[in-house]
Protein backbone atom coordinates (compact mmCIF):
# COMPACT_ATOMS: atom_id res chain seq x y z
CA UNK A 1 0.00 0.00 0.00
CA UNK A 2 1.38 3.41 -0.97
CA UNK A 3 0.33 6.14 1.42
CA UNK A 4 2.49 9.01 0.15
CA UNK A 5 3.39 9.54 3.79
CA UNK A 6 6.58 9.18 5.75
CA UNK A 7 7.56 9.72 9.36
CA UNK A 8 10.46 11.76 10.68
CA UNK A 9 12.08 12.79 13.93
CA UNK A 10 14.35 15.77 14.38
CA UNK A 11 16.79 14.08 16.74
CA UNK A 12 18.13 15.44 20.07
CA UNK A 13 21.41 16.80 18.64
CA UNK A 14 19.60 18.97 16.09
CA UNK A 15 17.02 20.22 18.59
CA UNK A 16 19.74 20.98 21.15
CA UNK A 17 21.79 22.96 18.63
CA UNK A 18 18.78 25.04 17.57
CA UNK A 19 18.47 23.60 14.06
CA UNK A 20 14.92 22.21 14.29
CA UNK A 21 13.40 25.26 12.62
CA UNK A 22 15.92 25.24 9.76
CA UNK A 23 15.32 21.51 9.23
CA UNK A 24 11.53 21.88 9.20
CA UNK A 25 11.96 24.73 6.68
CA UNK A 26 14.04 22.47 4.41
CA UNK A 27 11.39 19.77 4.72
CA UNK A 28 8.60 22.16 3.70
CA UNK A 29 10.69 23.67 0.91
CA UNK A 30 11.39 20.12 -0.26
CA UNK A 31 7.69 19.81 -1.02
CA UNK A 32 6.57 17.88 2.05
CA UNK A 33 3.34 18.82 3.79
CA UNK A 34 3.40 18.53 7.59
CA UNK A 35 0.44 16.32 8.53
CA UNK A 36 1.24 16.11 12.27
CA UNK A 37 3.98 17.62 14.43
CA UNK A 38 4.94 17.59 18.09
CA UNK A 39 7.91 18.20 20.39
CA UNK A 40 8.31 15.37 22.87
CA UNK A 41 10.83 13.49 25.01
CA UNK A 42 11.32 9.74 24.65
CA UNK A 43 12.16 7.64 27.67
CA UNK A 44 15.00 5.17 27.09
CA UNK A 45 12.43 2.36 27.14
CA UNK A 46 10.28 4.02 24.49
CA UNK A 47 13.32 4.78 22.33
CA UNK A 48 14.17 1.08 22.66
CA UNK A 49 10.69 0.14 21.49
CA UNK A 50 10.92 2.51 18.51
CA UNK A 51 14.30 1.09 17.41
CA UNK A 52 13.44 -2.52 18.39
CA UNK A 53 14.47 -3.65 14.88
CA UNK A 54 18.07 -2.74 15.82
CA UNK A 55 18.02 -4.54 19.20
CA UNK A 56 20.75 -6.98 18.17
CA UNK A 57 23.09 -4.29 16.79
CA UNK A 58 26.16 -3.25 18.84
CA UNK A 59 25.09 0.41 18.79
CA UNK A 60 21.54 -0.24 20.11
CA UNK A 61 22.13 0.67 23.76
CA UNK A 62 23.97 3.90 22.88
CA UNK A 63 21.31 4.74 20.31
CA UNK A 64 18.52 4.41 22.90
CA UNK A 65 20.47 6.53 25.41
CA UNK A 66 21.11 9.17 22.77
CA UNK A 67 17.52 9.25 21.47
CA UNK A 68 16.25 9.82 25.02
CA UNK A 69 18.93 12.40 25.92
CA UNK A 70 16.79 15.39 24.99
CA UNK A 71 13.59 16.43 23.25
CA UNK A 72 12.82 15.54 19.65
CA UNK A 73 10.31 16.74 17.09
CA UNK A 74 8.17 13.94 15.67
CA UNK A 75 6.30 14.53 12.42
CA UNK A 76 4.23 12.81 9.75
CA UNK A 77 4.95 14.16 6.27
CA UNK A 78 3.08 13.87 2.98
CA UNK A 79 4.34 14.07 -0.59
CA UNK A 80 4.22 11.89 -3.71
CA UNK A 81 6.85 9.16 -3.24
CA UNK A 82 7.36 10.42 0.33
CA UNK A 83 9.52 7.63 1.77
CA UNK A 84 12.13 7.57 -1.01
CA UNK A 85 12.14 11.33 -1.59
CA UNK A 86 12.61 12.02 2.10
CA UNK A 87 15.55 9.59 2.32
CA UNK A 88 17.10 11.53 -0.56
CA UNK A 89 16.52 14.85 1.23
CA UNK A 90 18.15 13.63 4.47
CA UNK A 91 21.16 11.85 2.93
CA UNK A 92 23.21 8.86 4.09
CA UNK A 93 23.13 7.59 7.69
CA UNK A 94 26.77 8.59 8.17
CA UNK A 95 27.07 12.35 7.47
CA UNK A 96 30.58 11.72 6.14
CA UNK A 97 28.89 9.89 3.24
CA UNK A 98 25.88 12.21 2.88
CA UNK A 99 25.50 14.16 -0.36
CA UNK A 100 26.06 17.92 -0.44
CA UNK A 101 22.95 19.90 0.44
CA UNK A 102 21.26 17.08 2.37
CA UNK A 103 19.95 17.64 5.89
CA UNK A 104 22.47 15.24 7.40
CA UNK A 105 25.37 16.79 5.48
CA UNK A 106 24.35 20.22 6.79
CA UNK A 107 23.35 19.38 10.36
CA UNK A 108 24.44 15.89 11.52
CA UNK A 109 27.27 15.62 14.03
CA UNK A 110 28.10 11.89 13.71
CA UNK A 111 26.76 8.57 12.46
CA UNK A 112 24.77 8.31 15.69
CA UNK A 113 23.81 11.98 16.23
CA UNK A 114 22.67 12.32 12.64
CA UNK A 115 20.04 15.07 13.01
CA UNK A 116 16.99 13.28 11.57
CA UNK A 117 15.18 9.99 11.20
CA UNK A 118 13.35 8.94 8.04
CA UNK A 119 11.16 5.85 7.64
CA UNK A 120 12.52 3.14 5.33
CA UNK A 121 9.20 1.85 3.93
CA UNK A 122 5.52 2.79 3.61
CA UNK A 123 4.68 0.07 6.11
CA UNK A 124 7.15 1.38 8.70
CA UNK A 125 6.04 4.97 8.05
CA UNK A 126 2.51 4.00 9.10
CA UNK A 127 3.73 2.04 12.16
CA UNK A 128 6.08 4.83 13.26
CA UNK A 129 3.49 7.56 12.70
CA UNK A 130 0.98 5.76 14.90
CA UNK A 131 3.71 5.32 17.56
CA UNK A 132 3.42 9.09 18.17
CA UNK A 133 0.08 10.25 16.74
CA UNK A 134 -3.55 9.20 16.87
CA UNK A 135 -5.69 9.50 13.73
CA UNK A 136 -7.27 12.68 15.11
CA UNK A 137 -3.82 14.37 15.24
CA UNK A 138 -3.34 13.95 11.47
CA UNK A 139 -4.61 16.65 9.12
P1 LIG B 1 17.04 6.30 10.80
O2 LIG B 1 16.35 4.95 10.93
O3 LIG B 1 17.27 6.99 12.12
O4 LIG B 1 16.38 7.18 9.78
P5 LIG B 1 18.92 5.15 9.00
O6 LIG B 1 17.74 4.41 8.45
O7 LIG B 1 19.70 5.99 8.06
O8 LIG B 1 18.50 6.06 10.21
P9 LIG B 1 19.58 2.79 10.50
O10 LIG B 1 20.47 1.73 9.98
O11 LIG B 1 18.10 2.53 10.52
O12 LIG B 1 19.91 4.14 9.70
O13 LIG B 1 20.08 3.16 11.96
C14 LIG B 1 19.22 3.82 12.88
C15 LIG B 1 20.02 4.85 13.63
O16 LIG B 1 20.98 4.17 14.44
C17 LIG B 1 20.87 5.78 12.76
O18 LIG B 1 20.16 6.86 12.23
C19 LIG B 1 21.92 6.23 13.75
O20 LIG B 1 21.38 7.23 14.63
C21 LIG B 1 22.18 4.95 14.51
N22 LIG B 1 23.27 4.18 13.92
C23 LIG B 1 23.25 3.46 12.76
N24 LIG B 1 24.40 2.88 12.52
C25 LIG B 1 25.23 3.22 13.54
C26 LIG B 1 26.57 2.93 13.88
N27 LIG B 1 27.34 2.15 13.11
N28 LIG B 1 27.07 3.48 15.02
C29 LIG B 1 26.32 4.25 15.82
N30 LIG B 1 25.03 4.56 15.56
C31 LIG B 1 24.49 4.06 14.44
MG1 LIG C 1 16.40 3.30 9.64
The 10 Å CB-count burial string (b at 16+, else e) for 69-93 is bebbbbbbbbbeebbebbbebbbbe
As for ligand 1, residues whose beta carbon falls within 6 Å of it are 54, 59, 63, 93, 111-112, 114, 117-118, 120
2-41 residue pLDDT tens: 679 999 999 999 999 999 999 999 999 999 999 999 999 9
pTM: 0.97
75-85 residue pLDDT tens: 999 999 999 99
Q: Which domains does the chain have, with CATH numbers?
A: 5-134 (3.30.70.141)
Confidence of residue 111 (pLDDT cuts 50, 70, 90): very high
Q: Which atom in ligand 1 lies closest to the alpha carbon of residue 53? A: 11
Amino acid sequence: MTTNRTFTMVKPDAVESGNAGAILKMIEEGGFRIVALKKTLLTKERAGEFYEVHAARPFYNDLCAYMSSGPIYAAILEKDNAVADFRTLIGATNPANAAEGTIRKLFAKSIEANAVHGSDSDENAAIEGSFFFSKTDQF
